[in-house]
Amino acid sequence: MDDKRRTKVSKYLSKHLRHDPAGLGLTLGPGGWVAVDDLLQACAKRNFALTAEELREVVGRSDKQRFAFDESGAMIRANQGHSVEVDLQLTPTAPPEELFHGTGAGSVDSILATGLERRSRHHVHLSPDEETARRVGMRHGQPVVLTVAAGAMARAGHEFFVSANGVWLVDSVPPEYVQR
């Protein structure tokens, strides 16, 4: 499969496994899982032909690891980034002292003043390293990497989770924990 097709499939899966499963006639189960066979059948019904082999390639070759199969390979889910109600069944986890958030330069002043909010998503997404955060920030224009005092937040009672692909999740980040 070429890069263009892989990107198209990834975006389609993101839309339907993170934001609009009902648009494919799917319901996310506990943990956000859906049967691979149901997903493939739903795609075919909507004239988006997708083979099991293509699905495995998109999941396996994604540098961001947005999706995961369960141990049996019969179920698939988006690892995080949902705007629909879903319990990803993540366990609270102690974060490192610092995590990072990539954003565009135009958002920095607002974030420093008000903090990070999840908005339409379930959580604020934080990166474990500056380079990953920089790549995320590039999607929003001139990238800026902000440092989040995650250890201090955790000690103050904020719960952190880590998704299967290493993205750290938290409900919000108050401005006193964010530094440029």
Interval 109-158: pLDDT, tens: 999 999 999 988 889 999 999 999 999 999 989 999 999 999 999 999 99
CATH architecture of 99-179: Alpha-Beta Barrel (3.20)
Q: How many CA atoms lie within 13 A of 39 on its CB side?
A: 29
133 vs 63: CA distance, rounded Å: 14
Confidence label for 11 from pLDDT (cuts 50, 70 and 90): very high
The answer to whether 179 and 153 are in contact (CB under 8 A) is no
**Of 38-52, 58-72, 133-147, 160-174, minimum mean pLDDT range:** 58-72
Read off the pTM: 0.81
Integer distance in angstroms from the first to the last C-alpha of the chain? 40
* Phi then psi dihedrals of residue 8, to 5 deg: -60, -45
Confidence label for 63 from pLDDT (cuts 50, 70 and 90): confident
**Which one is the CATH code of 3-78: 1.10.3720.10, 3.40.50.1980, 1.10.10.970, 3.40.50.920?**
1.10.10.970
Q: Which of the two residues, 172 and 80, has the higher pLDDT score?
A: 172
Q: Is residue 24 classed as helix, strand or coil in its secondary structure?
A: helix
